[in-house]
A = this chain, B = another copy of it.
Amino acid sequence: MKAHVYVTLKRTVLDAQGQTVADALRRMDYRGVTDVRQGKYFLLTLADDIEPTVANAEVDRIAREVLTNPVIEEYSFKLES
């Protein structure tokens, strides 16, 4: 089983990396993009014998306690069997 975890800066936090990418795209004449936010992506490989409810709880705890700085970041994740 795999877990995809996405960690992004909260909407209220200035995303300098994302703005730099957005500015670069504008300079390169990519007109279709109006905004960019950059975040982190984690692909977790879980033990094969783990139950989905246990996996869900464990990934949620890992995302919240290890992968995310709750002051400035938020996360979402999805499981894939």
Q: B33 and A62: CB pair below 8 A?
A: yes
How many whole Å from A7's CB to the nearest CB in chain B? 8
Number of this chain's copies in the assembly equals 2
* Residues of chain B within 8 A of A66, CB atoms compared: 21, 24-25, 28, 30
Q: A35 and B44: CB pair below 8 A?
A: yes
CA distance A27 to B66 in the complex (A): 12
Interface CB pairs A-B, < 8 A, 18:
A6-B41, A8-B41, A24-B66, A25-B62, A25-B66, A28-B66, A30-B61, A30-B62, A32-B46, A33-B46, A33-B58, A34-B45, A36-B42, A36-B43, A36-B45, A38-B40, A38-B42, A40-B40
Write the residues of chain A forming the contact surface with B, with a CB cutoff of 8 angstroms. Answer: 6-8, 18, 21, 24-25, 28, 30-47, 50, 54-55, 58, 61-62, 66-67
